[in-house]
Structure 1
Amino acid sequence: MLLRIISIVFPIFLVVIIGVFYGRKHRPEMVAANRLNMEVFLPALIFTALAGKSFALTDNMPSIVGSLVIVIGSGLLSWPVARAMGFNPKTLVPPTMFNNVGNMGLPLMLLTFGDQALGAAVVLMLIATLLQFVLYPWMINGNSPLATVWREPFILAAALGVTVSLTGITVWPPIMTACKILGDISLGLMIFSLGVRLSTAKLNAWSIGVTGAILTPVTGMITAWIFCELVNIPRADQDILFVFGALPPAVSNFIFAERYNQEPDKVASIVMIGNVMAIVFVPLALALRL
């Protein structure tokens, strides 16, 4: 069991560490690479996963509902904790809700559960990302850009992929192959980019950083466990949702905090310490479910 857990998490953390050291030495400008990933490689991965013959929307309903419950439930659990500890809930709560399902979650679930989990993993990422685009601005300033989020390439790719899946349209195989080639670039680039981003993050607030780092996986796993106990879903879906709940805060939380000027230094600490502490919480989640 220990060897299996190590074999799952080691490749991910190794690529992150490589990204950290490369980032510290060369300070690469990742804006263009990350934009390519968000606008080309990731949409190709999403389309390939959702338009593939192995994907069925009804089979992934547990992932859709479960992700909604985990994201919102984590926020509801962490809000009173933030108030009780004297932290600004607008700073602490969003990182506990929106975890690193992109950079870390997708590769982790594929390594853990195999290619058959790609559809569920993509659905989890889509739900979490969409909720972050909609809920984060609303939580900070009461506004939500719901009308513009549908222009995001990953949403368009998801809509196209689901349409292909539901209608039974057969996409010309060479097109699917091209999308798969582009999509395969996305996973490695996401993990490496996470390392580069962490190499420049600063720890200016240890207390809120450690609190958020612990609160994110704990509230996620608690919410996932409660949902799976109350709802009768297959064991495979339960395992995927539990691992999803155990993920650390997403790097995008720092980007949103900068955009809305919501104590970005403190959010950076939460993100950095949270992803370091994933070395503990991710293997723990795997040990509990495998």
Structure 2
Amino acid sequence: MNLALTVLNISAPVFILAAVGFAWVKLGFEYRVEFVTRICMTLAVPCLIFVALMKTQIDPEALAALTLASLVAYTLVAIVFLVIIKLFKLDIQTFLAPLVFGNTGNLGLPLAMFAFGEIGLGYAVVVFAVMAILSFTIGIWLVSGGGSLTKVIQEPLVAATLLGGLFLWHGWETPVFMTNALELIGQMAIPMMLITLGVAVARLETKAMNLAIVLSIAKAVVCAAAGWWAAVWFGLEPVAAAVLILQISTPVAVTSYMLAVKYGAEAQPVAGLVVASTVLSVVTLPLILAFVI
């Protein structure tokens, strides 16, 4: 009973905020996703990442191990789904990137913070940063046929990650007034991302959901297993292992749908994956939390 209540206390705020965004759109109110997404990804999230890394008390060696474990976990997930896509003769350009890269920002960061506090957020930021770099290189290459290292470096969240890592490595800190300002800006990120997630899901049009449901179940199982295996292989301490499994297991990100639209992949199947995996995560993420807590 206590475990169930703990999991509910951690996961409920995440889904309640997403439900607020969903209901907001269904009630007919205006919500400019492009503006909110831009202010999140260019200002709020980079500030959140930088401050989280700068203030974290995690040992640099532990962060290095988590980074390597994240890379291995994503590689395992990519290999498994490449085989599945080939077996079922699906389109690699459409399906592979969404099935590999999850919603580590909108869902993973708040869940890690609610479950494990500031140290959990610090670990989650590392996995999120690994995912973002892979997504902006390999992910875009898969969807569009061409990635760019320049684009990666220019992304504010990547720059914030590198700068935060530098401050963490050297033990530097910004002046108190600057830290407080950056922290305040970063605090906007999580509620805005969760509400935007609900808005985006409410606006998606989906067809042929059967395939999306099957692939979403497969994604939940494969990702959780890959995260667990990588955590064991690298001997991660319990909180780092839990955060890795949680982050790798997050559902398909709404940004996957946006990238599919932008680069000419089949958008409707990706939209179906977003909706199916997000709805499924209402069950799977609490189960994973119950397992790792």
TM-score of the two chains, using structure 2 as the length reference: 0.94
Q: Does 1:231 align with 2:234?
A: yes
- Asked if the contact 1:12/1:108 (under 8 Å) is kept, the reply is yes
Larger mean Cα displacement after TM superposition, 18-27 or 5-14: 18-27
**Quick one: distance in 1 between partners of 2:60 and 2:259?**
30
Residue in structure 1 matched with residue 125 of structure 2 by the alignment: 122
Residue in structure 1 matched with residue 17 of structure 2 by the alignment: 15
Q: Does 1:106 align with 2:109?
A: yes
How many residues end up aligned between the 2 structures? 290
Local SS of the residue matching 2:207: coil
Q: How does 1:40-55 map to 2 (within 5 A)?
A: 40-52=43-55, 54-55=57-58
**Quick one: distance in 2 between partners of 1:90 and 1:230?**
30
1:243 to 242, 246, 251: 246
Deviation at 1:55?
4.5
**Quick one: distance in 1 between partners of 2:84 and 2:78?**
10
Deviation at 1:56?
4.1
- Asked if the contact 1:209/1:266 (under 8 Å) is kept, the reply is yes
2:42 to 32, 39, 42: 39
Local SS of the residue matching 2:5: helix
**Quick one: distance in 1 between partners of 2:143 and 2:268?**
16
Q: Deviations over 1:184-210 (max 9, x none)?
A: 000110100000000101111213311
Question: What are structure 1's unaligned runs of at least 5 residues?
Answer: none
Residue in structure 2 matched with residue 160 of structure 1 by the alignment: 163
**Quick one: distance in 2 between partners of 1:8 and 1:90?**
35
Moved over 4 A (4+): none
Name the Cα RMSD after superposition.
1.5
**Quick one: distance in 1 between partners of 2:25 and 2:278?**
16
Question: What are structure 2's unaligned runs of at least 5 residues?
Answer: none
TM-score of the two chains, using structure 1 as the length reference: 0.95
Residue in structure 2 matched with residue 26 of structure 1 by the alignment: 29
Q: How does 1:1-290 map to 2 (within 5 A)?
A: 1-24=3-26, 25-52=28-55, 54-290=57-293
Local SS of the residue matching 1:204: coil
Percent sequence identity is 24
Deviation at 1:170?
3.1
- CA gap of 1:110–1:53, structure 2 versus 1, over 3 A, is closer
Larger mean Cα displacement after TM superposition, 117-126 or 132-141: 132-141
**Quick one: distance in 2 between partners of 1:274 and 1:5?**
19
Local SS of the residue matching 2:23: helix
Larger mean Cα displacement after TM superposition, 82-91 or 142-151: 82-91
- CA gap of 1:246–1:39, structure 2 versus 1, over 3 A, is same
Deviation at 1:6?
1.0
Deviation at 1:53?
5.3
Local SS of the residue matching 2:16: helix
